[in-house]
Amino acid sequence: MIGSALRSPRWLALAPLAFLLAALVAPVLRLMFEAGSGGGGLAAVQASGEPGAIGWLQPWVDPYLRWRLLWSALQAALTCALVLVLGVPVAWVLARYEFVGRRWVLRALMLPFVVPTLVAAMGVLALWGPQGLWVQAGGRSLQDTPFLLLYGNVFFNLCVLVRSATDALEQVSASRVAAARTLGATPWRAFWRIEWPAILPWLMSALCLVFLYCFAGFGLALVLGGQAYATVEVEIYTLVAYELQLGAAGVLALWTLGITGLFALLYAVLERRLATPLRADRIARRAPQTAGQWLAVAGALAVLALFCLAPIGAIVLRAAQAGGQAWAVLWEPDTVLALGNTLRFSGAALVLATLLGWAHALAARHSASLRALAFLPLVVSPVLVAFGLLLLYPAWTASVPLLIAAYALLAYPFVAKSVASGLDGLPANLHAAARSLGASPWRAFWRVTWPLLFPALRRGMAFAAATAVGEFAVTLFLSRPEWATLSTLIYQHLGRPGAAHLDAALVLACALMALALAVFLLIEWPTTDRPHLQESHA
């Protein structure tokens, strides 16, 4: 076994567990302490003579903070409803019909997951903003409306539900559907009575992820929400960065952590129900024959193009319209410095994330609880991670090691999850056969196990690299001005008045998107394994 090749896989757990303790658990505990004793928290309310319990209820007592919490939950719930209505028909078409380009469509579903959050926000603005393509075509600007944030959420999360529902529909029993049709059920009735109950657990699992991503989202809400529709994550950032109300921010952060933790627990419970063997009698895909079937395929592709490809195309088109003067920003000293910082921080974080993820996956191969710990960084939002690190390590706030550690914390779960999935699929008899033929444990590992695991490791590294390249939230909290990355440089241009700065931001968004895609393809593209969509979403 691999454990014998590496002697003591349980010993390997010490490094990732110590890292989680220092970079995540301890900062969260420090955040709880700040909420109970800092200004604006429990201690401040007790000093004013009010009942102590009101301190923890402050976000619900204050109408402004209550609106932030309620709107965060509402926009996440609305996104869940939208992706459910749009995604299930698209998934049904992809699961039931075989057509030219279907494989490329499935691969294109990965695109939103490697596009940095800030680039996606720029794409939404390029499409629907004050100077977007919609306004150029004669439409009304949708700035300062909830539509921009909801559209951005759908851009990221529609693919989550489509891929999950497609996988679920491919597990539906063909014999049960055939029996229902034989007994006179229409295709629509067979779907509701047979297929829908079978895929519902998968859909609920995906919707839990969608809610988590939207409720704890930061970059999209910061750029697209405006003053009226900013989420609770943006409010936490404002309280810390501009108002220095750490106690109030801590209380708000703990409520956010509690809500996300509840949905993460629900997701974990649902995932356990989905851990069933693959069904043998799948429904075979067929080529579209009738005009209605081809219309369904065209409609599904149109939905994906409108919500998943249009923002990316809008960025490229708007940047092309900006002219050569705007593209000169790529050669400015600030851009060259930001590009160097992006590559430097992301490269170091990728190395650390790969080592931690590999060690965690090997050590957790036979431990469900240890494997579950790899998901902790995905439950806590980047804003809360950065806030907790800021409170716990104030002397290291402007240090490169802390910044790289924060990047690696958010990236290494993708490596751990992917390698763990690769380990689960390893045939044990191959390693045993190599050992029986006289190979040493290390030789059996390098000649048999490593070639089989390498595609999974490469896939996890691709997601980790894309996450690090586009990271935005922790950089705002923990970096110095001279450590600006491409994402923070884009945000700086967006914060300055004038069309020239908007054009420069669009050009930089194109550059950041190209960099993220290049890094992802450089690591992942040669593999022929089927990617796991739910492993990502920065």
Is 104's pLDDT higher than 50? yes
For residue 62, what are the domain limits?
12-535
Assess if residue 82 is contained within a domain. yes
pLDDT tens, residue by residue, 355-368: 998 888 888 777 76
Is 428's pLDDT higher than 80? no
Q: Of all residues in the chain, what percent carry a pLDDT higher than 90?
A: 12
Assess if residue 219 is contained within a domain. yes
Helix axes 146-169, 291-304, angle to 10 degrees: 130
Give the pLDDT mean for 245-261. 78
Assess if residue 1 is contained within a domain. no
Residue positions counted in the chain:
538
Which among 261-270, 390-399, 430-439, 457-466 has the top mean pLDDT? 457-466
Residue 208: is it exposed, middle or buried by C-beta count within 10 angstroms (0-12/13-18/19+)?
buried
Confidence of residue 427 (pLDDT cuts 50, 70, 90): low
Say what the pLDDT of residue 43 is.
42
Confidence of residue 88 (pLDDT cuts 50, 70, 90): very high
Largest CA distance in the chain: 78
Assess if residue 3 is contained within a domain. no
Assess if residue 313 is contained within a domain. yes
Do residues 3 and 12 touch, judged by C-beta distance below 8 A? no
User: Residue 207 and residue 391: Cα distance in Å, rounded?
Assistant: 33
Confidence of residue 277 (pLDDT cuts 50, 70, 90): very low
Q: What is the CATH number of the domain that holds 496?
A: 1.10.3720.10
Residue 343: is it exposed, middle or buried by C-beta count within 10 angstroms (0-12/13-18/19+)?
middle
pTM: 0.80
Q: Of all residues in the chain, what percent carry a pLDDT higher than 70?
A: 82
Q: Which of 443, 451, 462, 446 is nearest to 426 (CA)?
A: 451
Higher pLDDT, 471 or 365: 471
Assess if residue 153 is contained within a domain. yes
| Token couple for 452 | 């089989």
User: Residue 447 and residue 451: Cα distance in Å, rounded?
Assistant: 7
Give SS3 for 488: helix
Assess if residue 6 is contained within a domain. no
Which among 267-276, 338-347, 487-496 has the top mean pLDDT? 338-347
Is 54's pLDDT higher than 50? no
Which among 187-196, 436-445, 505-514 has the top mean pLDDT? 505-514
**What letter does residue 447 receive in the DSSP assignment?**
I
Give the pLDDT mean for 434-442. 62
Give SS3 for 97: strand
Say what the pLDDT of residue 11 is.
65
Q: Which of 100-109, 302-311, 348-357 has the lowest mean pLDDT?
A: 100-109
Assess if residue 48 is contained within a domain. yes
Is 472's pLDDT higher than 70? yes
Say what the pLDDT of residue 360 is.
86
Average pLDDT of the chain, as a whole number:
79
Q: Which residues of 62-90 are buried (b: 16+ CB within 10 A; e: fewer)?
A: eeebebbbebbbebbebbbebbbebbbeb
Is 529's pLDDT higher than 60? no
Per the structure, the count of domains in the chain is 1
Higher pLDDT, 81 or 389: 81
Say what the pLDDT of residue 84 is.
94
Higher pLDDT, 283 or 413: 413
Say what the pLDDT of residue 83 is.
95
Give SS3 for 438: coil
Say what the pLDDT of residue 233 is.
86
